[in-house]
């Protein structure tokens, strides 16, 4: 015989209600990625050539720069959400899990920051670089 009630054994092991929010964020960022990647590919295909001057001139347009910033932030956010789930599900050692989650956050934030800085630098300097 086990001591305690069924509720007592389950308490603390159930849903923390954070999974639904995470699931919705993954779906929203995925939908955003689809829209923004389709825009990105279509925009690139419309360029007359892919040399430095043409691409930097295209990226110096305010609407293009804002869309690229949205794409960049959305892709890194989606990457972080997806890899967080993989780490939480498949890494069982708590110390390793925390360490990998910290590294993932540094990677995602750092990569997004470098990309955002690069886009803004091109956007504000114009095609005359």
- Report the candidate in 65, 55, 69 with the shortest Cα–Cα distance to residue 114: 69
Reported pTM? 0.82
> What is the crossing angle of helices 62-90 and 52-59, to 10°?
90
Note the pLDDT of residue 17: 61
Each residue's pLDDT tens digit, 63-91: 999 999 999 999 999 999 999 999 999 99
d(CA 69, CA 66): 5
What does the radius of gyration of the chain's CA atoms come to, in whole angstroms? 21
Contact 26, 82 (CB under 8 A): yes
**DSSP codes of every residue in 42-102:** HHHHHSS--SHHHHHHHHTSHHHHHHHHHHHHHHHHHHHHHHHHHHHHH---HHHHHHHHH
Percent of the chain with pLDDT over 70: 84
How would residue 126 be classed by pLDDT, with cut points 50, 70 and 90?
confident
Which top CATH class is 18-128? mainly alpha
Q: Between 26 and 7, whose confidence is greater?
A: 26
- Report the candidate in 49, 68, 53 with the shortest Cα–Cα distance to residue 127: 53
Section 26-39 average pLDDT: 98
- Does residue 26 surpass a pLDDT of 90? yes
Note the pLDDT of residue 129: 47
């Amino acid at each position: 015989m086990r001591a305690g009630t069924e509720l007592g054994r389950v308490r603390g092991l159930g849903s923390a209600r954070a999974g639904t929010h995470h699931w919705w964020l993954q779906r929203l960022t995925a939908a955003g990625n689809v829209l923004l990647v389709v825009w990105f590919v279509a925009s690139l295909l419309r360029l007359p050539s892919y040399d430095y001057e043409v691409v930097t001139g295209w990226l110096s347009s305010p609407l293009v720069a804002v869309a690229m910033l949205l794409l960049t932030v959305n892709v890194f956010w989606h990457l972080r959400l997806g890899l967080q789930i993989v780490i939480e599900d498949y890494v069982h050692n708590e110390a390793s899990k925390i360490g990998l989650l910290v590294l993932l956050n540094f990677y995602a934030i750092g990569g997004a920051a470098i990309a955002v800085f690069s886009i803004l630098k091109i956007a504000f300097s114009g095609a005359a670089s």
